[in-house]
A and B are shown apart, each in its own frame.
Chain A
Amino acid sequence: MGLRTRENPLAALAALAGVLVTAAIALIFFYVPTDVDQGFSQRIFYIHVPVALTAYAFFGWGAWKALRHLWKREPGADLESYVAIHQGVIFGSLTLLTGSLWAKISWGHWWLWSESQLVLFLVLFLFYGAYFMLRYSIEPGPARANMCAVYALFGVVLIPISFLAIRLANQLIHPVVFTLQGPQMSGSMFLTFCVSLAAMLALAATLFHVELAGKRIDSRLSELRELLA
């Protein structure tokens, strides 16, 4: 097992994700105290925020790979950018779903159009959702890779706007937990949050590498098929 994980970093990453996810669930349901204001429903925080931060991280990673494609012509960067954005959209949809459930139990509404944080995240999600429409409307090749890279780079501008919207807005319902004074929660809550975030990032990184490996094998098989034709 030890040798196998050393030879295969993906297996090691998957094992780490498994351990972290188990630890996070144990901390969330058996260790962390119940919030005085929100009660039991505050536990959605430990999945909603890590999922949202993971979505931001993958959109950012997709944009970084797009930049590497345009700037350094790094081989495989276009595929990595595409897979990262795909992951970002999956985690983005989970952010909207978990956030909507939390909003319903906390505010009594599934969605509030007056909340700039929610609307900006939806805009970011739809922007990257449209990335796939662009990608699959162009024939595969350098032109498609370049256009998709430019699109992915434009989208990255929305990430800091979406992230900062909550802090810039004057009237808001969406809670602000991380301020310039540090995290506004107890030590045990912060520990649980950190483990949950690490678990979500490890899980997402595992899924990213599995999907990327699948796409690479698919592309090599297509090349092999052409060579044998």
Chain B
Amino acid sequence: MILAVTAAEKYVAAAYGIVFVVVLVYVLIIGLKLGRLERELDELTGKVRARQEGEAERREEVPVG
């Protein structure tokens, strides 16, 4: 079955398609950025944890009396 598509229908499809694709690409870029922010947050959380553990170890080494 061959669908007969008029020129007007092609242009309408292109106009709506462009808006859809641009919004999709935008959401994709925001998604990638959120992924980067999540990785940065993990890295910073790791740094804070390492620092806290280091401080706890130093506290244990102090002689009492």
Using a CB–CB cutoff of 8 Å, the interface residues on chain A facing chain B are: 39-41, 43-44, 47-48, 51, 90, 93-94, 97-98, 101-102, 104-105, 203, 207, 210-211, 214, 217-218, 221, 224-225, 228
Contacts and interface: CB of A to CB of B under 8 A. Distances in A.
Interface string B16-40: 1011001100110010011001001
Contact of A228 (B7, B8, B41, B44): B44
Q: Interface residues of B toward A: which range?
A: 20 to 34
A61 B16 CA distance: 25
Contacts of B18: 94, 97-98, 101
A44 B11 contact: yes
Q: In terms of DSSP, what is the predominant structure of the interface of chain A?
A: helix
Secondary structure at the B interface, as helix, strand, loop or mixed, is: helix
B44 A224 contact: yes
Contacts of A43: 12
Contacts of A97: 15, 18
B37 A44 contact: no
A210 B32 CA distance: 13
A225 B23 contact: no
Contact of A40 (B8, B26, B30, B37): B8
Contacts of B47: 228
